[in-house]
Amino acid sequence: MIRVAVTGIGVISALGPNRESFWRALSAGESGIRPMEIVAPGTVRFPNAAEARHYRTEDHFDEKEASLLDRFAQFAAVAAREAILDAGIKWTTDLQERTAIVTGSSTGGQTSEDESFRDYYERKQTRFSPFAIPKAMSNAGASRISFEHGVTGPVYTVSTACSSANHAIGQAFWLIRNGEARLAIAGGSEAPFSPGMLKAWEGMRVVSPDTCRPFSLDRKGLILGEGAGMLVLEHLDHAQSRGAHIYGEIAGFGMSSDAHHLTQPLAAGAARAMRSALRDADAPAEATWYINAHGTGTLANDPTETEAIRAVFGARISNVMVSSTKSMHGHALGAAGALEAAATLLALSRKIIPPTANFLAPDPACDLDVVPNTARAVEVEWALSNSFAFGGLNAVLAFRR
């Protein structure tokens, strides 16, 4: 079977404008959650968010380019540039034809859409810019990456709310494993901070009034985040033959649907996706695992995810460390799985497990080793990264150092 290596990582997040700033903060247990700047205080009940405040459009795009790209598509393109540079890819026509791009996004260019609709409804402007449609489409990020790098293989976008990026990376993994592509750029990007979207999240009553405390007593909900994570996936032989640095391998991918409820998670559904990823990865029974949890910090997710993890690992639970890096980079929705894949690969390759930050005290309903507040220097070979979406759609990736 074809094995799939990860040879490049690019990240934009609340923790900084690139991969190394992201890892520095994660490994130090530092949170990027701050008072929200994007809307006026008092616009929504929750004051804090994980904004990519270091990001400046003019550092990456000229004015003409920027006018054609929503923030989420800019994030995708910039993270992909970093990942491709990191991997040291030298493009040839043949490689461009055999490269795939699969991106995830939950809401696409909704910031641009919100703005254009406000022009129409609120400011009574009767004409729309011709850019409104191509800026808002969810594949705008994937298309931009394709233009920039001349990638002419299979390019598409997956949208499954908070599982989008994991579904996207899983698809790209399959494209390589099935021989459809030799190289793939895969991940997710999200820029959900428009006034309309923030009000909609307020209406759901799942956003914390202070910070994100996954698996902790007194957790009060999730914190919205933004950013992008992009990986370069590569046929292992291809990576080895060109002497590329390998962060790790994607060893397995599992999906399931709860078929249960629009917003309530179901442990059995989450467990099935995890088991499927584990079967695919075919790891030894005695392996020690790191799980980068979905860990949103909501009342509903964390105990359900705990139940699922316990059901899957049973007596082997003592060999499992779990942390939620959402406590630091926030919940970046359709980009979440990509940020967390980056965190997981860096954890394996640099031998440090990032903690669950903002942890106050154990919740008996979440009795796992959640690596509270302080990173742990430990060598782990195997990891899972969980994503569970509203609508009950689950996607789990398995990694190997």
Partner 1 sequence: MDEDFESRVIKVIAKTQRIPLETVSIDSTFEELKIDSLDGINLIFALESEFNVDIPDEDARSIRSVRQMAEGIAQLLAQKPPQQGAA
Candidate segments 5-13, 262-270, 313-321, 334-342, binder of partner 1 by CB under 8 A: 262-270
Per rule CB under 8 A, is residue 265 in the interface with partner 1?
A: no
Question: Torsions phi, psi of 348, nearest 5?
Answer: -65, -45
DSSP string across 131-143: THHHHH-TTHHHH
Active site residue 212: no
Quick one: 150 or 209, whose CB is closer to partner 1? 209
Quick one: 261 or 279, whose CB is closer to partner 1? 261
Per rule CB under 8 A, is residue 259 in the interface with partner 1?
A: no
Contact 172, 250 (CB under 8 A): no
| Whole-Å CA distances, 256 to 262, 267, 312, 320, 387 | 15, 11, 14, 22, 11
Minimum CB distance to partner 1, residue 263 (Å): 5
Q: Per the residue annotation, which of 149, 329, 331, 366 is the catalytic one?
A: 331
Minimum CB distance to partner 1, residue 222 (Å): 12
Structure tokens at 84: 């491709």
Cβ atoms within 10 Å of 292's Cβ, excluding its own: 29
Per rule CB under 8 A, is residue 269 in the interface with partner 1?
A: no
Quick one: 75 or 201, whose CB is closer to partner 1? 201
Candidate segments 49-57, 121-129, 199-207, 285-293, binder of partner 1 by CB under 8 A: 199-207
Per rule CB under 8 A, is residue 179 in the interface with partner 1?
A: no
List, in sequence order, every residue forming a beta bridge with 377; answer none if it has no partner. 352
Per rule CB under 8 A, is residue 88 in the interface with partner 1?
A: no
Candidate segments 36-44, 80-88, 198-206, 359-367, binder of partner 1 by CB under 8 A: 198-206
Per rule CB under 8 A, is residue 204 in the interface with partner 1?
A: yes
Question: Among residue numbers 324 through 353, which ones bind partner 1 (CB under 8 A)?
Answer: none
Per rule CB under 8 A, is residue 196 in the interface with partner 1?
A: no
Query: Contact with partner 1 (CB under 8 A): which of 199, 205, 245, 279?
Result: 205
| Whole-Å CA distances, 20 to 37, 71, 118 | 24, 21, 37
Minimum CB distance to partner 1, residue 125 (Å): 29
Q: Per the residue annotation, which of 149, 235, 294, 329 is the catalytic one?
A: 294
Per rule CB under 8 A, is residue 261 in the interface with partner 1?
A: yes
The contact pattern for partner 1, residues 218-257, with x = CB under 8 A and - = no contact, is --xx------------------------------------
Per rule CB under 8 A, is residue 200 in the interface with partner 1?
A: no
Q: Which residues contact 170 (CB under 8 A, 6 or more apart)?
A: 253, 255, 395, 397
Quick one: 177 or 219, whose CB is closer to partner 1? 219
Question: Among residue numbers 287 through 326, which ones bind partner 1 (CB under 8 A)?
Answer: 299-300
Contact 392, 259 (CB under 8 A): yes
Residue 187: enclosing H or E segment and its boundaries?
A: strand 183-190
List, in sequence order, every residue forming a beta bridge with 186; answer none if it has no partner. 102, 231
Q: Which amino acid is at 191?
A: A
Per rule CB under 8 A, is residue 262 in the interface with partner 1?
A: yes
Per rule CB under 8 A, is residue 264 in the interface with partner 1?
A: yes
Question: Torsions phi, psi of 10, nearest 5?
Answer: -130, 140
DSSP string across 226-274: -EEEEEEEEEHHHHHHTT----EEEEEEEEEE--S-SS---HHHHHHHH
Active site residue 294: yes
- With CA atoms as reference, report the closest residue to 338 among 326, 349, 348: 326
Minimum CB distance to partner 1, residue 298 (Å): 10
Classify residue 215 by its DSSP letter.
Answer: T
Query: Contact with partner 1 (CB under 8 A): which of 179, 196, 209, 360?
Result: 209
Quick one: 119 or 202, whose CB is closer to partner 1? 202
Give CA–CA dist 204/201, Å, rounded.
Answer: 5
Minimum CB distance to partner 1, residue 190 (Å): 22
Q: Which residues contact 200 (CB under 8 A, 6 or more apart)?
A: none
Active site residue 162: yes
How buried is 105 (Cβ within 10 angstroms: 0-12 exposed, 13-18 middle, 19+ buried)?
Answer: buried
Q: What residues make contact with partner 1 under the rule CB under 8 A? A: 45, 203-205, 209, 220-221, 261-264, 299-300
**Active-site positions?**
162, 294, 331
